[in-house]
Amino acid sequence: MLDYFALGLLVFVGLVLFYGIILLHDIPYEIAVHRNHPHQDAIHATGWVSLFTLHALWPFLWIWAMAYREDRGWGFGDGHSPKSHIIHLEQQMAELQGRVDRLEAASGRTPTLPTDTHGGGL
């Protein structure tokens, strides 16, 4: 009787471990689906490949899946579009150019163009 219980427990633990590993490898794919990642299929396929490499690729899949968010892209931006960022930089550049012009006018200097100090030209 105890032998059958031990055998049943062994089979049960084996099945739980088997399906647990399969569920574990799917976590990055589920994150990618939730975030509407553009590389969902690649993450899923690489997750299966990771099963054969003893999950050596799994941490990289996690990072790959977490790096993308639909509202901000790959997560490296500040939440603004590149166009608004360029407009902001142009405004800062105009402000700095105005400061330089005022300083040059106050000092009585005339703006000079850079000269070629190497003497070579093109």
121 φψ region: left (φ > 0), alpha (ψ -120 to 50), beta (else):
left
Q: How far apart are CA 119 and CA 116, in angstroms?
A: 6
Cβ neighbours, 10 Å, residue 46: 19
Whether 117 shows a pLDDT value over 80: the answer reads: no
pLDDT > 90: what percent of the chain? 52
Q: How far apart are CA 74 and CA 72, in angstroms?
A: 7
- Do residues 28 and 43 lie in contact, with contact meaning Cβ atoms separated by under 8 Å? yes
Q: Summarize pLDDT for 1-40 with one digit per residue, the tens.
A: 889 999 999 999 999 999 998 888 899 999 999 999 999 9
Q: Residue 112 has which token pair?
A: 């000079």
Q: How far apart are CA 17 and CA 11, in angstroms?
A: 10
